Structure 1
Amino acid sequence: MAPAGSTRGSQPSSPSASECSAEESDIRAILTQLPSKTDLAAMFQRLEDSFSEKLQAVSADVQHLGDRVQALEEETETADRQWTECHTTQEIHSEAIRYLQRRLEDVDNRGDEIT
């Protein structure tokens, strides 16, 4: 091999035939260990199937949560409507009781009998 600071005119040394053969066999050994196109396609298919299953599970969970939220909203609306009706009824009863109290006081003040 030529020294690192050699001039332009020097020829690079070429590897011997046995070195090339050893390198080629090392490269071939490495290449044979790499997954094939079919292996890669199968791996990607398994990944895709796994992701699909997980997404379906997440989708089902989201749907379930959506159903629960909708049910809770409906229950809240029903409870709110019932509270409003009870409050309105209570106001009507309170007004009726006040009216009856005033009427009773008037009758008491006049000494009249209630008819």
Structure 2
Amino acid sequence: MLAVKSNYSAERQRVSQPQRQQNRDTSVRRSPAGLLDKLSIGAAIVLVLGVFWMLAGNAAKVNVMNHSVAQLQSQVSTVSAQDAALNTQVDELERPSRILSLALNKYHMKHANAVHISTNVKTGK
């Protein structure tokens, strides 16, 4: 029985050796393609990382621009409020009754006497 088992294992080794050589031949043949596949995968990874880096940079720029827009909108509302207050003040200062009151009371100005020019001027004829 032992002789049959050893014979069987020896036969099995002889059959498997050509298969191993075939596998080695195909693996040798596949290695350039495997190298090309590895390079392609590596290039794809680098490309994906580059795109991710670019998108992250653009997202950061968008965030900065949004912050700037928010600040500008705040400044616009502040300046609009100041403009409305100044327009109200200008309207108050331009009132004719206020100007007349200041002229008479503060600066002690008086109305000018009206000068009457007559149309009946006698000529030397």
TM-score clears 0.5: yes
Greater RCO (Cα-Cα under 8 Å, separation 6 or more): 1
Corresponding position: 1:33 with 2:22: yes
Corresponding position: 1:58 with 2:48: yes
- Structure with larger Rg: 2
- Unpaired runs of at least 5, structure 2: 101-125
Alignment match, 2:83: 93
CA distance in 2 between counterparts of 1:58 and 1:69 reads 16
Identity over aligned pairs, percent: 8
Match of 1:48 among 31, 38, 44: 38
- Unpaired runs of at least 5, structure 1: 2-12
Aligned CA-pair RMSD = 3.3
TM-score, normalised to structure 1, is 0.59
Match of 2:12 among 23, 45, 67: 23
Instruction: State the aligned residue count.
Output: 97
Match of 2:70 among 43, 67, 80: 80
With 42-51 and 70-79 compared, the bigger mean Cα shift is at 42-51
Q: Could you tell me how far 1:74 is from its partner in structure 2?
A: 3.0
